[in-house]
Amino acid sequence: MGWKGKSKPRLPPYLAIRSLVCVDQRNKRCGERMRMTMVRPVIMAALLALVPVAAQARSLTYKAALSGNSASAKTGSTAKATAEIIVDTDAMTVAVRMQVSGMPVTALWDNLVAAPIGPVHLHQYAGTDLSDPDASVLVFPLPFGPSYRATAEGFAVDTGAQSYAKGMATLGSTASFEAFVAALDRGAIVLNIHTDAFNAGEISGPVIKAQP
């Protein structure tokens, strides 16, 4: 076939190399070079296929709006808070970032401020009925420390990524990380702030999945 007046199509690089190397089939290394030439793109494709897998570490984001008029805290408190909870399912860590208004950091329950579990917790309920405090257990603590800071409006908490296993060790719990994530996904987790005025929790709110 002639290519007069037309652009001769270019072969993919690995096929072009193959055709140049193996024009002379009597070349003893021709077969070997053909195999090597054909294997290279296969290896490259396999390596490229691995890239997305490494980049797909699951980071789950949840949010919570806390008040004194929630199902889990009927205190009438005018304080409010918003929180973002980020769970890394590969590293098995939990990070909480929260802004509180209408409540100074000094209002936090002194007994828990001094305790390893801290005055702010994630509680898990047996089901999605969040009104029965006797149906909940503490599932992740936020120990008081440098992650708490006073603000003009109240206080803020930014824990950074914390080991779930370490949190469970603090509580003396054997609850699995998988069970914790499952409870988050079904809306059975509440974020609660304990204060001197309301030891059981002054404001709280359900943790729900953040919209993408």
- Check whether residue 29 and residue 87 sit in a common domain: no
Residue 4, in any domain of the structure: no
List 123's β-bridge partners, or say none. 138, 190
pLDDT score of 6: 54
- Check whether residue 37 and residue 115 sit in a common domain: no
Domain with 104 in it = 59-209
pLDDT score of 134: 78
| Parallel/antiparallel/unpaired status of strands 93-101 and 69-70 | unpaired
pLDDT score of 36: 47
CATH number of the domain at 171, please.
2.60.40
Residue 1, in any domain of the structure: no
Residues in Cβ contact with 149 at an 8 Å cutoff, skipping those fewer than 6 apart: 105, 155, 156, 157, 158
- Check whether residue 157 and residue 185 sit in a common domain: yes
- Check whether residue 102 and residue 175 sit in a common domain: yes
Q: Which of 130, 69, 125, 121 shows the shortest CA–CA distance to 98? A: 121
Residue 50, in any domain of the structure: yes
Within the chain, how many helices (H) and strands (E) appear? 5, 12
pLDDT score of 128: 77
The ranges of the chain with pLDDT < 70 are: 1-57
Residue 8, in any domain of the structure: no
Number of domains in the chain: 2
How far apart CA 35 and CA 155 sit, in angstroms, is 66
- Check whether residue 151 and residue 63 sit in a common domain: yes
Residue 82, in any domain of the structure: yes
- Check whether residue 110 and residue 155 sit in a common domain: yes
Beta strands in the chain (DSSP E): 59-66, 69-70, 73-74, 80-88, 93-101, 120-125, 136-142, 148-150, 154-158, 162-163, 189-193, 203-209
Q: At which residue do the structure tokens 């007994």 appear? A: 111
pLDDT score of 9: 53
Residue 183, in any domain of the structure: yes
Q: Is 179 helix (H, G, I), strand (E, B) or coil?
A: helix
Q: At which residue do the structure tokens 């996904």 appear? A: 185
- Check whether residue 36 and residue 67 sit in a common domain: no
pLDDT score of 205: 96
Q: Is 70 helix (H, G, I), strand (E, B) or coil?
A: strand
- Check whether residue 19 and residue 70 sit in a common domain: no
Residue 144, in any domain of the structure: yes
pLDDT score of 14: 42
Residue 2, in any domain of the structure: no
- Check whether residue 43 and residue 118 sit in a common domain: no
